[in-house]
């Protein structure tokens, strides 16, 4: 039987308009996507890749710059009439009661007030908040507040429920509880919602809940992976098939830079590297840990062991692989000979090794050093480097790149930054 298409995106592209620091830079391009009735879709991707933007475009909260988006075959202007959204930050009105907050979800519906109230009370009951109708958001825990957010979205009986990292502001147990409850409402048809789309950082969360996973990555971002998840519910997180899927997704996300030049940018026809935001200290600790484990290690288990989500984890792995201290093969990470030497070295030897790798693998570090050393006082205003970088990096990226580069350069004793004079200076 042919699946019913609820929402369709064709050749969707997004560039931010003037005013923002990344104006004109394409965030999303060439997005072609059909969302079918009956599916729970999860969208994964690195931080800043455009997952939330994609969700907001589907919701009609952010306009696409070009391309076509339809709901049940009809293009829509403004808010998608068939969708409702749950936000990471709950986004409740503090001055309204729980009942009034949920009623906001019916603002655009032309229904008598008593019908609206009946619907809102039924939804409040369904999301487990019976008895809290007259409370205010600040009187509720985070988990309960997110239930209000869910109620406000569900009260309009949307065909498509959109959730933007709905659990990430909650503690582990509360999040797990809410995940199960939402899955139960969905699996057991307790809500008329025909499809759910969830943006998440959690690979395990996506595999636990979704029927289909998209990985969004690249610059501009596109859909890099579109993977069905056919494991029957309820899923056992310890089952080999579950672990293997999580593992595969970890590998795919680690390989994302092979297909998308996420770590490099071109300035005056030369490639420069965009550095992951990770400190030398975190890298050192990570390399020591890998050395301790003394074998190839499954990335998924490593993240699990430290109860880190991919968001915290990938920059460290990116840093370690970028500097040639570790390599990732088929979802396993292992130290390179340089990584082993680094982990076993003394503090001073480590600095030297770090210096060698930094100059070899981050040419920009070598160039900065050469420029500084060419000056008799070995100093240069930071604006000089900011101006060069501004030729191809969005303004918002420049301080992030320089922050990491300076922190790494300082650790390697190559160069440092004097905040007072706003100058970079060579250490030797």
Ligand X SMILES: Nc1ncnc2c1ncn2[C@@H]1O[C@H](COP(=O)(O)OP(=O)(O)OP(=O)(O)O)[C@@H](O)[C@H]1O
Q: At what angle do helices 172-187 and 142-154 cross, to 10 degrees?
A: 20
The distance of closest approach from Cβ of residue 87 to ligand X in the complex, given in angstroms and rounded to an integer, is: 11
Shorter beta-carbon distance to ligand X: residue 47 or 374: 47
The distance of closest approach from Cβ of residue 7 to ligand X in the complex, given in angstroms and rounded to an integer, is: 18
Greatest Cα pair distance in the chain: 80
Which residues are CB-contacts of 397 (< 8 A; sequence separation ≥ 6)? 22, 274, 389
The distance of closest approach from Cβ of residue 22 to ligand X in the complex, given in angstroms and rounded to an integer, is: 5
The distance of closest approach from Cβ of residue 64 to ligand X in the complex, given in angstroms and rounded to an integer, is: 13
Question: Footprint of ligand X on this chain (CB under 6 A)?
Answer: 16, 20, 22, 27, 45, 47-53
Report d(CA 273, CA 311) in Å as an integer: 20
User: E strands, 137-260, where?
Assistant: 160-164, 195-199, 212-217, 222-228
Shorter beta-carbon distance to ligand X: residue 49 or 156: 49
Shorter beta-carbon distance to ligand X: residue 52 or 357: 52
Shorter beta-carbon distance to ligand X: residue 127 or 402: 402
Shorter beta-carbon distance to ligand X: residue 225 or 423: 225
The gap between the terminal CA atoms of the chain, to the nearest Å, is: 71
Shorter beta-carbon distance to ligand X: residue 216 or 380: 216
Which residues are CB-contacts of 1 (< 8 A; sequence separation ≥ 6)? none
Cα dist from 163 to 37, 58, 90, 156, 375, whole Å: 16, 11, 10, 15, 54
The distance of closest approach from Cβ of residue 393 to ligand X in the complex, given in angstroms and rounded to an integer, is: 12
Report d(CA 223, CA 2) in Å as an integer: 23
Cα dist from 410 to 223, 239, 342, 413, whole Å: 38, 45, 17, 5
The distance of closest approach from Cβ of residue 123 to ligand X in the complex, given in angstroms and rounded to an integer, is: 27
Cα–Cα–Cα angle for 20, 22, 25, rounded to 5 degrees: 130
């Amino acid at each position: 039987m042919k699946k019913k298409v609820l929402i369709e995106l064709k050749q969707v592209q997004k560039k931010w308009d003037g005013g923002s620091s990344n104006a004109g830079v394409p965030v999303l391009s060439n997005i072609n996507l059909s969302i079918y009735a009956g599916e729970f879709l999860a969208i994964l991707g690195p931080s800043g890749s455009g997952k939330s933007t994609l969700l907001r475009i589907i919701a009609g909260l952010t306009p696409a710059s070009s391309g076509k988006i339809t709901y049940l075959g009809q293009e829509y202007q403004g808010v998608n009439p068939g969708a409702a959204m749950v936000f990471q930050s709950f986004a409740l009105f503090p001055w309204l009661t729980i009942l009034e907050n949920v009623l906001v979800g019916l603002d655009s519906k032309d229904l008598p007030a008593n019908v609206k109230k009946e619907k809102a009370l039924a939804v409040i009951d369904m999301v487990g908040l019976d008895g809290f109708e007259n409370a205010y958001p600040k009187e509720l825990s985070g988990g309960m507040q997110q239930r209000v957010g869910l109620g406000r979205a569900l009260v309009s009986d949307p065909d498509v429920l959109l959730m933007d990292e709905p659990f990430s502001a909650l503690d582990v147990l509360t999040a797990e509880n809410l995940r199960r409850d939402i899955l139960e409402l969905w699996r057991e048809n307790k809500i008329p919602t025909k499809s759910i789309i969830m943006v998440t950082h959690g690979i395990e969360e996506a595999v636990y809940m979704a029927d289909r996973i998209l990985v969004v990555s690249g610059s501009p971002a596109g859909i890099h992976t579109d993977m069905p998840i056919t494991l029957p519910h309820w899923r056992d997180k310890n089952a080999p098939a579950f672990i293997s899927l999580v593992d595969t997704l970890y590998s795919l996300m680690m390989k994302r830079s092979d297909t998308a030049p996420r770590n490099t940018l071109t300035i005056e026809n030369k490639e420069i590297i965009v550095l992951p935001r990770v400190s030398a200290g975190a890298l050192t600790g990570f390399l020591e840990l890998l050395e301790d484990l003394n074998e190839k290690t499954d990335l998924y288990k490593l993240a699990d062991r430290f109860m880190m989500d991919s968001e915290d984890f990938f920059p460290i792995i990116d840093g370690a692989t970028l500097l040639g201290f570790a390599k990732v093969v088929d979802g396993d990470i292992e130290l390179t000979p340089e990584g082993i030497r680094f982990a076993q070295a003394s503090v001073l030897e480590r600095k030297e090794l770090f210096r060698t790798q930094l100059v070899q693998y981050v040419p920009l570090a070598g160039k900065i050093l050469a420029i500084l050393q060419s000056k008799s006082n070995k100093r240069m205003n930071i604006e000089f480097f900011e101006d060069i970088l501004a030729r191809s990096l969005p303004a918002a990226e420049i301080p992030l790149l320089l922050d990491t580069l300076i922190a790494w350069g300082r650790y390697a004793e190559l160069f440092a930054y004097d905040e007072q004079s706003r100058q970079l200076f060579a250490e030797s």
